């Protein structure tokens, strides 16, 4: 579906339409307006949505962490961290923006507004900025409800992949959402007699390879190799 003509002014009518999408009516539309104003068109960076993006990023992480902690009391810290990394990634945030069509309300400079689709980093930022605005206007409960509604089944889907120790499945989700790549597994070595072989397997995403792992079968070695890749990716995902 083609993008509608770019917004040239955030009128009350446009803001009301955005509120309808968000299912929330702001007490102060000025803060909603700021959350939709990109730095490319604002008079100063302080008047753009950048500070609200900073706040929204923290709120998103906090809500997701709390939800995972409560939902999955037996999951270790490493698994929860990997799940959180997927759920708060720029790719996930940009996807929510496009799903809600929040980018249709974004006030941009002429160069960006002329494009058919805004860059993913800007799409992700507007979701976080709007979240920050909702938090300041309505409080944590409003922000939390919005996050959980937007993430929907993704929390369960991603978390259960990790909880089931299906590291290959989780790595595939993470790689495709974050890098647009599918992991590839390579047998690096094998040892032992035919009836009792062990295999060394390495996972790679694009041009980057991750530490190899040994296993009593190719399948188990691949699972461990995926786990090694997930461990290295912790804390190093694009934000």
CATH assignment at residue 180: 3.30.160.20
What's the pLDDT at 164?
46
Residues 17 and 59 in one domain: yes
What's the pLDDT at 40?
83
And the tokens for 31? 């803060």
Number of domains in the chain: 2
Residues 78 and 138 in one domain: yes
Asked whether residue 2 is domain-assigned, the answer is no
Residue 8 above 70 pLDDT?
no
Average of per-residue pLDDT across 218-238: 78
Residues 80 and 150 in one domain: yes
Residues 28 and 78 in one domain: yes
Asked whether residue 5 is domain-assigned, the answer is no
Asked whether residue 106 is domain-assigned, the answer is yes
Q: What angle do CA 193, 194, 200 make, to 5 degrees?
A: 80
Of the residues 139, 159, 179, the one at which a domain ends: 159
Residues 115 and 21 in one domain: yes
Asked whether residue 199 is domain-assigned, the answer is yes
Which sequence positions are flagged as catalytic? 57, 128
What's the pLDDT at 108?
85
Of the residues 138, 159, 180, the one at which a domain ends: 159
Question: Structural domain of residue 202, as residue ranges?
Answer: 170-233
Task: Give the best-scoring range by mean pLDDT among 4-8, 82-86, 125-129, 174-178.
Answer: 125-129
Residue 2 above 50 pLDDT?
no
CATH number at residue 136: 1.10.1520.10
What's the pLDDT at 55?
98
- CA-CA distance, 174 to 168, in Å (whole number)? 10
What's the pLDDT at 34?
95
* DSSP one-letter code for 107: B
Asked whether residue 1 is domain-assigned, the answer is no
The sign of the CA dihedral 61, 62, 64, 66 is positive
- CA-CA distance, 222 to 213, in Å (whole number)? 8
Residues 153 and 196 in one domain: no
Average of per-residue pLDDT across 203-220: 89
């Amino acid at each position: 579906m083609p993008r509608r003509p770019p917004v040239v002014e955030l009128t009350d009518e446009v803001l009301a339409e955005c509120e309808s999408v968000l299912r929330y009516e702001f007490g102060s539309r000025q803060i909603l307006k700021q959350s939709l104003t990109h730095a490319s068109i604002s008079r100063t960076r302080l008047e753009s949505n950048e500070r609200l993006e900073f706040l929204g990023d923290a709120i998103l992480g906090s809500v997701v962490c709390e939800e995972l902690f409560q939902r999955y009391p037996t999951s270790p810290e490493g698994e929860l961290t990997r799940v959180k990394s997927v759920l708060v990634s720029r790719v996930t945030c940009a996807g929510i923006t496009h799903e809600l069509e929040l980018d249709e309300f974004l006030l941009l400079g002429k160069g960006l507004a002329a494009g058919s689709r805004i860059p993913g980093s800007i799409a992700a930022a507007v979701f976080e900025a709007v979240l920050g605005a909702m938090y300041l206007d309505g409080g944590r409960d409003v922000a939390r409800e919005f996050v959980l509604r937007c993430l929907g089944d993704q929390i369960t889907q991603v978390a259960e992949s990790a909880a089931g120790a299906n590291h290959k499945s989780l790595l595939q989700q993470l790689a495709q959402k974050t890098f647009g790549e599918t992991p590839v597994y390579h047998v690096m070595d094998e040892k032992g007699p035919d009836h009792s072989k062990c295999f060394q397997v390495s996972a790679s995403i694009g041009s980057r390879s991750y530490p190899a792992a040994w296993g009593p079968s190719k399948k188990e070695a691949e699972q461990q190799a995926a786990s090694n890749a997930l461990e290295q990716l912790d804390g190093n995902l694009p934000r």
